[in-house]
Amino acid sequence: MAKTITFNFEGTEYTLEFTRASVATLEKQGFNINDIADKPLTTLPALFAGAFIAHHRFVKREVIDRIFEKITNKKDLVMKLAEMYNETIESLVDEPEESEGKLEWVASW
């Protein structure tokens, strides 16, 4: 199962998910995931809105922006959205099996 985010807003259940089609639609609109670090103010709402394309294509942008304003823990949300976005590409390839000669890495946080 693909990663999803679910919540209830004003009585409506929302499921956020990225499909390859929704990622392609976002990119067609000029979205670039690499801009997250450089232009977070415009990129993050666009990424959030893009997650609506799969299941809630016809929700108005004003509604999405209102949801985004009200949503808590945005830092984690962005991380999760980025994970979901990347899942569309990561699921196309197998993870290399652990074996000798592979470089392991550790994050400090």
Query: Which residue ranges make up the site for another protein (CB under 8 A)?
Result: 1-2, 18-21, 23-24, 27-28, 32-34, 54, 87-89, 91-94, 103
In the complex, least distance from residue 20 CB atom to another protein, rounded to whole angstroms = 5
Q: Which two tokens stand for residue 31?
A: 């979205």
User: Interhelix angle for 40-50 vs 74-90, to 10°?
Assistant: 60
In the complex, least distance from residue 26 CB atom to another protein, rounded to whole angstroms = 9
Nearer Cβ to another protein (6/32): 32
In the complex, least distance from residue 5 CB atom to another protein, rounded to whole angstroms = 14
DSSP H or E run through 25: helix 20-28
Nearer Cβ to another protein (10/103): 103
Helix, strand, or coil here: 34?
Answer: coil
Gyration radius (Cα) of the chain, Å: 16
Residue pair 55/16 in contact (Cβ under 8 Å)? The answer is yes
Nearer Cβ to another protein (28/75): 28
